[in-house]
Structure 1
Amino acid sequence: MSKYTRKLKKLFETAPEAETAVLVAIIKQSQSELEVEEHLDELAFLTETLGAKEVHRFTQRLEKPDIRTFVGSGKLEEIQTYVTHFEVDMVIFDDDLSPSQMRNLENELKVKVYDRSLLILDIFLKRAQTAQAKTQVELARFQYLLPRLTRMWTHLERQRGGTATRGGAGEKEIETDKRMIRNQITVLKEKLRKIEKQGETQRKGRKGIVRVTLVGYTNVGKSTLMNLVTKSEVLAENKLFATVDSTVRKVVYENIPFLLSDTVGFIRKLPTHLIESFKSTLMEIQESDLLVHVVDISHPNFEDHIAVVTQTLNELGAGDKPILLVFNKIDMVPPMPSEEELMNMSELEVEEANYLDLEKLQAVYAKKTGIDPVIMAAKSGTNIEAFRESLIREVKKQHLKIYPHYLEDVTYDLSQFDDLEE
């Protein structure tokens, strides 16, 4: 073995391993096991995005969570036995835990406990790049954690410079942590107020130009589409919440300028504190003239994702805006077979193949939104021209509202939008 190989071996032997996690969910009477498994698949993806590794899943059929420990005593004992035997680092629940549930669970399990909101908040904290996004996430995280501090783990380890569990933290230290959090909340609110004031000034300067915003469930390809349209280099990864920062770019199609914004992806059970803190960023959606709703058509639950986004838009007061639906990732959907091929297939084979009648799908959603949806693949560029044609057609409609006589003699001062980025 060479000296170089020995060095490499030593490096990998001493490299820290990813933390391990077990996932927990309850199955309500109105839910099927398959539906809960799909939710846990998403939770596993979130866990991976945080940097941890899923090692096991626990489910229990309950009509409502146990008020003390979320799951029943028997299931909790089963989880505790597994966690102790396999030295698991954390337990992640697919629902939000009350402050008392989190305290009780950490006391019983003796490891870090995450609920869905805290997991998403930590991912946002890890992904935020701009001063505004970092401040928004930190504020939301502190507000969420304040009533949930426990003697087992205060969730402030990253601020303290480590990630290990503090097994012996006392009540005095918890009070110190609470005081520190309250002070931080005050500081962050003031900092965010100043940042938002600057953002408001920037948005006022954009009046007189059509504003288009990309919206959609997380990881549907919005950033990839943004890159394709603007030829910029916005981060696009196959991870949930690859970017949490709002990005704005100037685009000109057929001599008509407009601003294209990419916003944070939505997700099932998005934490309330996070929505509150991100209101200024989500203002891009509220002040847009046109929304481009990107959908991952290859996902088996894409219709549920559409429903989640639609509900969130309604909550933001943007549900009545014009929406251009873009069914993305068409290259990952199996083509519809001929009638003869279908006759030779079993019902199970047809169901598992997840075939889609694209013409019917387009007709259904065209009726719902009033605009013909586009079917494309942003990553490969499939049908990009069809998307551009639909986009400019809808932009023109909005442009005419601002400049009814724009074809006669309209000049634009676009210098204020040069190198535009938030």
Structure 2
Amino acid sequence: MSRTHDLGIVDGLVYLEGTFLEANIYISKGKIVDITTNYYAAKEEYTAREKWVLPGFIDPHVHFSLNLGKYTSVDDFKTGSISALFGGVTTFIDFLDPITTVSEFEKAFSKRLKEAQSSYADYSFHLTLANTKESAENFIKKAIESGLPSIKVFTAYSSSNRKTFDGYLYSLMEAASKYNLTILIHAENEEMIIENVPVYEHSKARPEMSEITQIIKIAEMVKHTGAKVYIVHTTCGTIIEELSLRFKDILNEKLFIESCPHYFYFNSEAYLKENGYLYTMTPPLRSKNEQKKLIKNISGIFSIGTDHCTFNTKEKNKKYTGDIPMGIGGIEHSFILMYTLFGKQIIDKFTLNPAKMFNLYPRKGTLYPGADADVVIFNPNYSGFIKSTHTNADYDLYINTKVKGKVEKVFKSGNLIIENEKLVKTAPGNFLRR
């Protein structure tokens, strides 16, 4: 039977959920329609010989246009999405501003939808709770009804009224387990934290034990409630070891761990540098020992987010952490940074895992027919240095980092977007109801 597709990507090594196949993929109307060893007519054809053909990457944790009052993160949805696409990230999930009542939801949702209209990548949001006494079930029903079946809470930041206390967190977990909603948790034991310290004390003031003890407490709650819980930006290898020993029955079944590239590439010694303020984020960078343990325990980490939240040097250049907007960038380099350390074992942590966790599968995270035609052509044999960046921030901590692998082409909904390190086409991203 004769057929003509919109696009063919041929002769590549196609990644299908854990397996590489020598195959061709064909795309029509923005969807993958065939994976085959046959050759068909296509209006456009690209050869991927000796290259990997991967699903577009998903970053489940970004902060574009994050308004902190005094500061707003300098990557908005347009510049942030461009930076993302250069790194092969075709889908991201940002956050609604924290709310304390369900009546505040529509305003928070419409605000972020309006801001995200400039995105060139597809996007969704997590609902975010501040300290609240309203019924957990009310928030959960609203989130699901709105296509946002994930809610983020903090176990710290009572100074800005964002802390969710243990009693409410437990009731939220109980309710979430009935509705199959995912709870994201920023896990730090606030009683062990000292705020507004000199930069060189940033890591000591938010100690490793504040994260370790808090996650163990959360794990116990998960065991009792059966809730699905996702710990964001985990920094310590020790807690992965503890969970693997004491909670292996729920790890990657009910309790899921996210980490970020910066915790693998930098450690707390950065805060002793003259420009240590540039490395500030929360939770902070950890000791060399914890960094080594984190690398050693990569198999216990479910997915990689970037917590991408950029500010300019002038805004970061302060002596005390209370004056510094917390966060760094990294979305553009996240996949190659992690591939450099771990090779192909990290592919699912950028594709299949976040897609399934956040109700995007099988539309995203896979190359099976029916999926959106978001495709990355990746050269696994490249060796070189990171030399360019497309963040709106005036610095990038990863410039001149030695890496393996290179994102050579990025297709979004079947359109070639990135080629030869250039943005060759743009189109509005889509809001994704999950």
Is this a same-fold pair by TM over 0.5? no
Say which structure, 1 or 2, has more relative contact order (CA 8 Å, 6+ apart): 2
- Give the TM-score normalised by the residue count of structure 2: 0.27
Greater strand percent: which structure? 2
Greater helix percent: which structure? 1
